Chains A and B, each alone.
Chain A
Amino acid sequence: MIKAVMMLNTQGKPRLAKFYDYLPVEKQQELIRGVFSVLCSRPENVSNFLEIDSLFGPDSRLVYKHYATLYFVLVFDGSENELAMLDLIQVLVETLDKCFSNVCELDIVFNYSKMHAVLDEIVFGGQVLETSSAEVMKAVEEISKLEAASNSISLVPKSVSGWRGR
């Protein structure tokens, strides 16, 4: 099972973090910091795998990939294959690249909800759901199409009074 997906920039700022088991915010921050400090101490041209029991409990592995200013990180347990996880990162990046046409860090920051939509199509509740980036794209496009449609309708707010809550 996949335990967490993270995107950190090279300064250690989280750009996206998703944990598939609930963790309190402080714990999440601790883990993000821990992961980053491990990652930035890795020399270049070494393997992309890490055993990370010290942070995530026994039998936890981590696969990361460094793209430009971003680290893509997957944390998972022994029931997944490291090389396959590395390719899952590749799938994710390819999909994002198709999605934003030449993805960069800014896209990820500003399209937070879309990022999650893409991720949710690929990893679902900690399991790999879909690995064909074409399929993922299809689903995401359909979502944004429908969202855009419903959005244009609601450009004129139906009832502002509905929000007069307090």
Chain B
Amino acid sequence: MEQLKTIGRELAMGSQGGFGQSKEFLDLVKSIGEARSKAEEDRIVLSEVDILKRRLLEPDIPKRKMKEYIIRLVYIEMLGHDASFGYIHAVKMTHDDNLLLKRTGYLAVTLFLNEDHDLIILIVNTIQKDLRSDNYLVVCAALNAICRLINEETIPAVLPQVVELLNHQKEAVRKKAIMALHRFHRKSPSSVSHLVSNFRKRLCDNDPGVMGATLCPLFDLISEDVNSYKDLVSSFVSILKQVTERRLPKSYDYHQMPAPFIQIKLLKIMALLGSGDKNASDIMSMVLGDLFRKCDSSTNIGNAILYECIRCISCILPNPKLLEAAADAISKFLKSDSHNLKYMGIDGLGRLIKISPDIAEQHQLAVIDCLEDPDDTLKRKTFELLYKMTKSSNVEVIVDRMIDYMISINDNHYKTEIASRCVELAEQFAPSNQWFIQIMNKVFEHAGDLVNIKVAHNLMRLIAEGFGEDDDDADSKLRLSAVESYLQLISEPKLPSLFLQVISWVLGEYGTADGKYSASYISGKLCDVADAYSSDETVKGYAVSALMKIYAFEIASGRKVDVLPECQSLIEELLASHSTDLQQRAYELQALLALDARAVETILPLDASCEDIEVDKDLSFLNGYIQQAIESGAQPYISERERSGMFETTDYHPQDHHEVPTHALRFEAYELPKPSVPPQASNELVPVPEPSYYSESHQPISTSLVSERESSEIKLRLDGVKQKWGRPSYQSTTAASSTTPQAANGISTHSDAGVGSSSSKPRSSYEPKKPEIDPEKQRLAASLFGGSSSRTDKRSSSGGHKPAKGTANKTATVPKENQTPVQPPPDLLDFGEPTATTVTAMDPFKELEGLMDSSSQDGGSSDVMGLYSDAAPVTTTTSVDSLLSELSDSSKGNSRTYQPQTSKGPNTKEALEKDALVRQMGVNPTSQNPTLFKDLLG
């Protein structure tokens, strides 16, 4: 009875074309949706895995059931559980003749398997057969699978057929064949290098879709080798022209823009071709100018094209007119309320600034707004821009800002990046060495464990070498200031290890150099460090070496050394240390303390860290001693090699172990089975094939596949396949390894920790628009942007206070502040006027309303669709919180471009139908899971 019910339901569902799944599956989805913890979800999925394992073992599974099982397997794997026990069934399903089943099989296989999986070998034949199918949908499915499942080794098996398909009558097939070929090119460029001319040919395809698809591989090819495609410049330009002149079919319009995605791709290609090429740039400038005029900047996609134009212009040889147009577009972006557009604007600014550095000045306030925006993405982009426009006049402000931001975030990955940028800028533009050391201290203090160890070494070298000029006085001042700052910092808890190493080194080398601090004071501090960080052997090693230096300097200068009791106990502890390195250092220190002044001076001379130490590898200074020994009858030295009599080994080269696989995969059908072989019992159902059927060598052995499927020994056979053809395991890493984070070397480490950084920021009080511009902001703007043009102006000012917010806490530590070239302007109006615009004073919502009004008035020429994501009133309505409501809302606003249904608004009738359907299937909404069913039941 129960079964009957299920069947009835299934039929009902089937007739509605809706959910073609059984109640079991619906229940699964529902219970997963209701699961309140990951553990509960895991439990549900694991029991589902058990069920499926059992079901798949049952005999005589109807195909439709099988299809559902496979979908369930896919679902399980999407939730992160292993479904490998069912892979073989998905593979079998690809062999099916039924299109629906075949497609399901291919779908599952592309999601389950990677190109190096052992089961791929079972699919290659099917793919070959399907590529030759009369049904173009089968061909498409096969091409789809190719993209994912074919590796370098199997490319030759399908390549000829894919190339043939480039001329298929259906444009959908041509399109996909091109993409497949592109994929091959990405995987192994050499295998298709003789076929790249096909891409050129397809560029002239009648179908715009195929032409557009061809642009993808061409983009890749051109970025690899620009020069061999220069001849295509005029073709690309003329295509772009035709597209903008709306010569393409209407169906390619998107939000009233003609084929925008094709335009974008073309612009990208043109940027590549035009860079540094006068001729090409000239040809392009016309069409680029047109685009600026024609682009509708009220839609998202129009702005995408505008941005792409800006990018293109920044790449090709500069053209003053176009640059001006680009600058205009950028200022529109920056003034927009949409964060997305601001982001693009900042990005565009960063590109144009390389060509015309003045452009940033007119947007200074906008940039500073972005810098203080609560949106983390925008902020980061702005820091990138600042990084690009840093010069010696504004480096202090920018680096200070960066460090403040660096301190505020938790995202280690980005922290690392911004720290390394700070270091780079500081190294490049530092106005003074004191400042440099201050900055480095900050970087080390807050991101010490993340920066590259080289940075630490650089800092040590800088302190040791000083300015590089012969100004010893300045050098010692620098060192003193470093020592002082370190003595201040050293008592802070939990300093990063790398920073402590630097501190220890500097204190050891220069702590007592000018007599301000006594040896016992410094050594006491060093002992504290070694004590406090007793688990860090590197730091301890540095500390002990530093102690050694300090005592050595004391001894050398003839003073009496009294070792502090805590230092003594440290030495004793380290003498018994498990680390041989620490032990050795301790013994050395102990030995050094017993030596006389002259010897100590030779071992550790004062301030000699920059002296080159020459290592005499030949030990020539021993020659006299050896001579003496030989004369007195000693045996001459015989090298170890001679002693063991292995003269020949010098010629020995380790043999090349990379054996070239002698047998590659065979894709042609195997030779005919001898007719005399009697058919096996399990093959009864398959007629013995006629020999003539196999005369074509390319014919896939379909019958044998069928028999394989039916064979009762399928497991055994598979194992055989594995052993014989399975790829050696050492080759199977290629695809995955390129994307997995490398955890090896310091600075480039990608860390996944602490992604949720933006939430912790104390920016909640931020208001997007302020009625008047904060004078502080203006000062900041002045110090950021004003460096070049109006410097004399600012220099005369006397209000020597830096922008308070960012740097106030630091003013005491930044030396020579009054002499810094950048000073805030005396006259705030200078900067207030041009950008204290009406825009900033307006209410953003009002503005938006205005926009929407105008768009409806002028007959919907501007597109509300693109805007609606920003229109907060629409998205925040919680009562009809569903996809459909949003979409239909927007469709109301813009019935021209988007009218999928005859009825407007939330389609209540359909929703009711779905509701009824779901109820009929016994899935009822529950209070624990409101969201899942909210859409349906409203």
Contacts and interface: CB of A to CB of B under 8 A. Distances in A.
A49 B307 CA distance: 15
A3 B752 CA distance: 18
Contact of A27 (B17, B251, B740): B740
B888 interface: yes
Nearest to B268: A79
B381 to A, nearest CB: 8
Contacts of A146: 99, 135, 137
B936 A86 contact: no
Nearest to B754: A54
B377 A49 contact: yes
A22 to B, nearest CB: 4
Interface in B82-103: 82, 92, 98-101, 103
Nearest to A9: B931
A164 to B, nearest CB: 5
A106 B932 contact: yes
A17 B74 CA distance: 11
A56 B745 CA distance: 17
Interface in A112-136: 112-113, 116-117, 120, 124-125, 127-132, 134-135
B114 interface: yes
A128 B261 contact: yes
Best-surrounded residue of B78, B147, B300 (most CB of chain A within 10 A) = B78
Contacts of A10: 931
Give the secondary structure class of B's interface. Answer: helix
B906 A106 contact: no
Given A81-B307, A83-B304, A125-B179, A150 B100 contact: yes
Nearest to A54: B413
A166 B57 contact: yes
Given A42-B758, A94-B898, A102-B906, A87 B216 contact: no
A127 B179 contact: yes
Contacts, number: 305
Nearest to B36: A11
B714 to A, nearest CB: 6
B758 A166 contact: no
B80 A28 contact: yes
Interface string A70-113: 10000000010111101110110110011001111110011111
Interface residues of A, number: 101
A131 B254 contact: yes
Given A129-B179, A165-B712, A21 B413 contact: no
Interface in A125-162: 125, 127-132, 134-135, 139, 142-143, 146-148, 150-151, 153-154, 157, 159-162
Nearest to B74: A112
A93 B882 CA distance: 13
A68 B99 contact: no
Contacts of B18: 110
B92 to A, nearest CB: 8
A57 B741 contact: yes
A104 B261 contact: no
A114 B135 CA distance: 19
A11 B934 CA distance: 14
Given A41-B756, A82-B343, A103-B884, A143 B377 contact: no
Interface stretch (B61-69, B277-285, B423-431, B579-587): B61-69
B606 interface: no
A154 to B, nearest CB: 5
Contact of A53 (B172, B176, B413, B866): B413
Interface residues of B, number: 137
Interface stretch (B26-34, B776-784, B850-858): B26-34
Given A11-B931, A17-B78, A22 B736 contact: yes
Nearest to A137: B900
B179 A83 contact: no
A151 B98 contact: yes
B308 interface: yes
A46 B377 contact: yes
B98 A127 contact: no
B377 A87 contact: no
Contact of B900 (A43, A50, A98): A98
B934 A69 contact: yes
A49 B381 CA distance: 10
Contacts of B750: 53-55, 57
A81 B61 contact: no
A134 B259 CA distance: 13
Interface in B748-781: 750-752, 755-759
B260 A103 contact: no
A47 B340 contact: yes
A91 to B, nearest CB: 7
B651 to A, nearest CB: 44
Nearest to B880: A68
Interface in B355-371: none
Interface in B914-938: 914, 918, 931-936
A117 B108 CA distance: 12
Nearest to A48: B340
Contact of B107 (A21, A55, A68, A116): A116
Given A38-B756, A81-B264, A135-B209, 18 more contacts: A13-B32, A13-B79, A42-B376, A42-B758, A51-B377, A65-B869, A68-B885, A69-B931, A81-B308, A87-B255, A104-B936, A105-B931, A110-B29, A129-B213, A130-B175, A134-B251, A161-B685, A166-B712
14 contacts: A22-B114, A45-B339, A47-B340, A49-B377, A68-B885, A68-B935, A83-B300, A83-B301, A112-B74, A129-B176, A132-B251, A132-B253, A160-B62, A166-B57
Closest 8 CB pairs of A and B: A104-B935, A83-B304, A47-B339, A54-B413, A125-B147, A22-B114, A46-B375, A102-B884
Interface of B: 17-19, 21, 25-26, 29, 32-33, 57, 59-63, 66, 71, 74-75, 77-82, 92, 98-101, 103-104, 107, 111, 114-115, 135, 137, 144, 147-148, 172, 175-176, 179-180, 182-183, 209, 212-213, 216, 219, 251-255, 259-261, 264, 268, 300-301, 303-304, 307-308, 338-340, 342-344, 373-378, 380-381, 411-414, 417, 685, 709-712, 714, 735-736, 738-741, 750-752, 755-759, 865-866, 869-870, 872, 875, 881-888, 898, 900-901, 906-907, 910-911, 914, 918, 931-936
